[in-house]
Amino acid sequence: MSQQNSFPTVVLASRNQKKIGEIRELLAPYGIPLISVEEFEGVEDVVEDGDTFQANAEKKASQTALAVGHWAIGEDSGLCVDALKGAPGIYSARYSGPGATDEKNNAKLIDELAGLPSEKRGGKYVCHVAVADPEGNVQLNIEATCRGRIADSARGTNGFGYDPYFEMREYRKTFGELGSVVKQQISHRARAFDRLIPQLLRTLSQAK
């Protein structure tokens, strides 16, 4: 008997199409129906003013759940570079200031690291996932990381954000060069959801 449609609908607190696609692919094998918050009219963007990835993820999950009346996933992720004392961190998506784009953020990052040798360009991607029930109560929290180094130049066109510059040492390829199948196994987001899914399945089963 298929699990498809046997779980409550879960709403992802994101309008980032590539992020939605990645998470939907991670949940699809388990029959968890995922839709984006953008499918609901009149839901305002959550202000990400927390001082940690967890605080932002929890706020997105809780406020979105209350706004739409469904289970909600809030995900906050970013790049923490050792030489920059953890920056851009929680400000990864808006690192270059107002009107930030992936291109502008990457340009600032590479400028900040100019002249640094390979061994001093280490860093990690962090992903924190929070799940809230329809009443806005946070029920689950998971965080995972993935270490790598920041390449001197962009390589590859897959992924988004800092992916073309984030190199996995063991693969000698950036996330931008790695295919989605590999990224779904080793990325910070994949690792977080790998830990989250068993707990999410139990939690949603009890909610039916």
Question: What's the CA angle centered on 37, arms 34 and 40, to 5 degrees?
Answer: 110
Residue 171 labeled ligand binder: no
Residue 49 labeled ligand binder: no
Residue 183 labeled ligand binder: yes
Asked if residues 162 and 121 have their Cβ atoms less than 8 Å apart, the reply is: no
Burial label for 189, CB within 10 Å (0-12, 13-18, 19+), is: buried
Residue 77 labeled ligand binder: yes
Write out the two tokens for 7.
């779980």
Residue 17 labeled ligand binder: yes
Residue 115 labeled ligand binder: no
| Active site residue ranges | 76
Give the annotated binding-site residues. Answer: 14-19, 76-77, 160-163, 183, 188-189
Residues contributing to the annotated binding site for Mg(2+):
76
Annotated binding-site members for substrate: 14-19, 77, 160-163, 183, 188-189
